[in-house]
Amino acid sequence: MPFQHVLVAYDGSPQSQSALDRAVSLVRATPGAHLTVAHAFQYPNFIVGEAMVVAPVVTDLEEMTSSEQLLDEAKARVTDLPGVTYTLLQGDAAESILECASETGADLIVIGSRGLNTIKEWFLGSVSHHVVQHANIPVLVIKEPHQEH
C-alpha cells in the first residue's frame, strides 16, 4: 500500500535537500498523497558549569528568521506540488519530528542521514538515528553517495 502522508525533515543540508526531492517524488507517484515539510529549530542555550545561560532575544530572533528562510527555500524547491504543508517545530529536532509525525498522521518519515549540526555529525547523524530508533512508522533515510576525489 503506498504512503498517503509523507513527512520530510528539512534543514537545508544537501542530505535534507535530497530527502525533500525523494519525498516529493513519492507523493507525486501516489494520487491523493500529502506532503508535510518540517524544520525543527531550538533556541540556543549554553551550559556553564551547573548553570544554563539563555541566549539573548536577538539570537532567538535570528534563529527564527533563519528557520523561516529555510522553509522558504523548501517552498522554492516544491513549487508545483499542490497542498503541501510547511511547519516550523521548536525543540529537540528528533523529538519534534516524531511528535509532528504522530500529530499529523504521517505514515512515512523521510530524513537525511546527516544535517547541519556539526557537533552531532560525529555520531551516525544523531537526529536521523534517534528518529529511526523511536519512530512507530517507516523511516526512509537518504544518504548522499560518497564522492571520489
What's the whole-number mean pLDDT along residues 37-59?
64
CA 39 – CA 89 distance, rounded (Å): 6
pLDDT of residue 132: 94
pLDDT digits (tens, 9 = 90+) for 64-106: 678 889 999 999 999 889 889 999 998 889 999 999 999 999 9
- Write down the residue that cell numbers 529536532 correspond to: 93
Instruction: Return the SS3 of 54.
Output: strand
Three-state DSSP string of 90-124: ECCHHHHHHHHHHHHCCCEEEEECCCCCCCHHHCC
What number does CATH give the domain 18-96+104-113+130-142?
3.40.50.620
pLDDT band for position 57 (cuts 50, 70, 90): very low
Beta-bridged to residue 108, according to DSSP, are 6
